[in-house]
Amino acid sequence: MLATAGTAQAAKSDCPKTYLCSWATTNFSGLPGKVAYDNSNLRQYYKFANSRSMYNNGTSCSVRVWAGTNYTGSSVVFKIGYQLHDTSNSVLRNGAGSNRWC
């Protein structure tokens, strides 16, 4: 599955360049959780374990996000600038488990 680009939202400005950000609410409402490196267990971070929207504000490459920890289960690729406003109809409907850049 490939995430699609969408329009900018004010709360997305809280996601710094070079980061993958996740919100525990749809449509990027509130403050995001942020990661900049590969993570085999995103479940340790509340806003990824309970992800409802996600945004790749990276500057050099895509990031693949798996539903399971240790890079298992279904996954979605977020190209630079791509976002998911609502994860409920995606493989991340139960949160994000792990991520790997490029």
pLDDT in tens, 10-36: 589 999 999 999 999 999 999 999 999
50 part of a folded domain:
yes
pLDDT for position 4: 47
CATH number of the domain at 44, please.
2.60.20.10
Q: Is the pLDDT of residue 5 over 90?
A: no
Q: Tell me which residue range forms the domain holding 88.
A: 10-101
34 part of a folded domain:
yes
The pLDDT tens digits of the residues spanning 40-66 come to 999 999 999 999 999 999 999 999 999
27 part of a folded domain:
yes
Sheet of 72-78: strand order equals 72-78, 63-68, 98-101
4 part of a folded domain:
no
91 part of a folded domain:
yes
How many independent structural domains does the chain possess? 1
67 part of a folded domain:
yes
